[in-house]
Structure 1
Amino acid sequence: MGQYSIKELEKLSGIKAHTIRIWEKRHQIIEPNRTSTNIRYYSDADLKKIINVSLLNNHGVKISRIAEMDAVELNSKIQELTSQSTEHQVQIDALVLAMISLEEEKFEKTLSGMILRFGFEQTVVEILYPFLEKIGILWQTNQITPAQEHFISNLVRQKMMVAIDGLELPPKDSPKAVLFLPENELHEIGLLFYYYLAKKNGIRTYYLGQMVPHSNLKQVYDVHQPDFLILSLISPLSQDSIDRYTNSLANDFPNSMILISGSVINRAEKNKHKNIHYFRNALEIKEMLKIG
């Protein structure tokens, strides 16, 4: 069971802490628990309710009217709003609610509906990525359980693989890319999306996945001689480790354009190696994949 401070509730719901307190006092929307030292905290149920209340209030329903609703009516209104709205924040919050409750059918239905409505690429960039950023707040504050983490990762991964499998295989004479995560890197969702983008843009792809030893990467490189190496570096690394690793990539794979994403790009030394390029988003990598 999650336990949230009012500041965490503010970050996850988008509602200012001051507003939450007003809603508590005037309308009894939620009622916080208190620790033995009288510090207020909120439960998963409180978080779900405040997100639902926020969604309805942002779409013109007065807070006094929402306060009169029982749980059945509130949920009914939310389902109606989610199915009709094209606003991305509504869809993001719907995914958060499904994640908190471990409701696989609801998560699947919501995500599939968005893909049908907006297309896979737009759904990932404008809805799924912001959703994962919001979930990152839960990870950082230890408010998400291993079960919830695996639940989300597996469902998102399944969607990614279905989308990738649905693309045509580029011809054998197409440019080639090897996609991988280095040792100690486990954050695969972003790399899977780059896999999708590369294949969709006519690149013949070889996906190696997580925690690939450098020696194994060299073996694959020698066999396929790829035009691109695509990887993501998210795990915390010292500056020395970043420099050593990028140096080894540049020196060992001189004939490939090496495309790197992830938090490391904020500290990497740009323009040091002519064959290493850093990208921040889908638009940038798509432009880079047109080179060569």
Structure 2
Amino acid sequence: MKQVDNPIRVASARSGLSTHAIRVWERRYGAVKPKRTGTNRRLYSDVEIERLTLLRLATASGHSIGNIATLPLAKLKSLVSEAEPEGRRARPGSPAQSFHDACLQAVKALDDRQLGEQLQRALVALGQQGLLRQLVAPLAQRTGELWRAGVITAAHEHFLTAALKVFLGNVAGQFASSPIAPAIVIATPAGQLHELGAVIINAAAAQLGWRTTYLGASLPAAEIAGAAIQSKAVAVALSIVYPEDDPHLPHELISLKHFLPAEVKILSGGRAAAAYSEILTRIEAIQPTDLDAFSLQLDALRKAASGREVGVNTPFLSRTI
């Protein structure tokens, strides 16, 4: 297979590191050794981007970059697999933290019974909003990071997605929305196969009383727009997670904007959304950064649908899945 070399912009989007951090870690610690073009532009291989991702996760867990910058890839994977980033831990000993650890172990073991039991217990202990914000969103983000770093396989991530799709679907089904409640269509655009972020969004919107139409992964723009028109949706929510450099996605987004009625708003987020920020801004997509911001935007859109003023466009899930 031909080796693909990526510019620093793509390396930044995929690794979660700023371009400044990548340059510093390269120059000061020898963390990676990118190729150079004739014009001295850096080019990073997929292996080097994987290495940068692992280094970011390991430093977030408390390791010094100076001590780990030149470690072999296998050792970095081991460090990341054993550690949980400080910034994502719940309070030590808290229910959310214990559920997170237990669920992650169940995912690694592909143990659907244990995962289901932990999710059910978490729902009782944390409540519906707490389940999404304190457990499901951080768990999805952590699992995605471990997959991207090569610590777990795509099978593990798909296992979690399948389990949460059923579990959160059942939770969302408990919310009987009013026939006059605002409607939202939720999907991932064509080429975006990772749907866990969309699953979480669907549950969050249902909990807020919206009529949700969940379409799943990798839908063409015309199909998404058709569903929005048929359901008389106020908004369309898109989860954009991977890849960060799909040359076809900008066209899909522009087409979606063209097909939708002018009054239908587009919300878009996910790990890879930042890589498409220019085109998302061009189509006037609302870009919340997390679940809380997403909820605020839904509240604003609901008020607008009722004839009240829409709130400001705050910058959704930019790094959740």
Per the alignment, in what secondary structure is the counterpart of residue 259 of structure 1?
strand
**Which of 158, 167, 170 in structure 1 is aligned with 2:175?**
167
Structure 1 gap segments, 5+ residues each: 19-38, 53-57, 59-81
Amino acid at match of 2:141: E
Amino acid at match of 1:90: S
- TM-score when normalising by structure 2: 0.61
- Corresponding position: 1:94 with 2:94: no
**Displacement after TM superposition at 1:220 (Å):** 2.3
CA deviations on 1:203-230 (whole Å, 9 max, x unpaired) are 2222211121222223323423321111
Residue number in structure 2 paired with 1:256: 264
Output the CA distance in 1 between the equivalents of 2:269 and 2:73. 39
Per the alignment, in what secondary structure is the counterpart of residue 119 of structure 1?
helix
- Corresponding position: 1:214 with 2:189: no
**Which of 186, 190, 198 in structure 1 is aligned with 2:197?**
190
Residue number in structure 1 paired with 2:122: 114
Output the CA distance in 2 between the equivalents of 1:47 and 1:185. 26
Per the alignment, in what secondary structure is the counterpart of residue 248 of structure 1?
helix
Residue number in structure 2 paired with 1:150: 158
Equivalent residue pairs, number: 239
**Displacement after TM superposition at 1:103 (Å):** 2.8
Contact 1:229 1:258 in 2 (8 A): yes
Contact 2:190 2:252 in 1 (8 A): no
Contact 2:190 2:218 in 1 (8 A): yes
**Which of 269, 273, 287 in structure 2 is aligned with 1:278?**
287
**Displacement after TM superposition at 1:256 (Å):** 0.2
**What does 1:60-75 align with in structure 2 at a 5 Å threshold?**
none
**Displacement after TM superposition at 1:175 (Å):** 1.5
**Displacement after TM superposition at 1:237 (Å):** 4.3
Output the CA distance in 2 between the equivalents of 1:237 and 1:41. 25
Q: 1:98 to 1:283 in 2, by over 3 A?
A: same
Per the alignment, in what secondary structure is the counterpart of residue 91 of structure 1?
helix
Between the aligned residues of both structures, percent identity stands at 18
Contact 2:144 2:157 in 1 (8 A): no
Q: 1:117 to 1:249 in 2, by over 3 A?
A: same
Residue number in structure 2 paired with 1:268: 277
Structure whose alpha-carbon radius of gyration is higher: 1
Output the CA distance in 1 between the equivalents of 2:214 and 2:123. 23
Residue number in structure 1 paired with 2:58: 11
Residue number in structure 1 paired with 2:236: 229
Contact 1:243 1:268 in 2 (8 A): no
Output the CA distance in 1 between the equivalents of 2:255 and 2:112. 42
Amino acid at match of 1:175: P
Structure 2 gap segments, 5+ residues each: 1-50, 66-71, 305-321
Amino acid at match of 2:232: Q
Contact 1:179 1:230 in 2 (8 A): yes
Output the CA distance in 2 between the equivalents of 1:272 and 1:141. 32
How large is the RMSD of aligned CA atoms in angstroms?
Answer: 3.8
Q: 1:98 to 1:223 in 2, by over 3 A?
A: closer
**What does 1:236-251 align with in structure 2 at a 5 Å threshold?**
236-238=243-245, 241=248, 243-251=250-258
- TM-score when normalising by structure 1: 0.67
1 or 2 for the larger relative contact order (CA 8 Å, sep ≥6)? 2
Per the alignment, in what secondary structure is the counterpart of residue 277 of structure 2?
coil
CA deviations on 1:25-47 (whole Å, 9 max, x unpaired) are xxxxxxxxxxxxxx7957x9999
Amino acid at match of 1:279: P
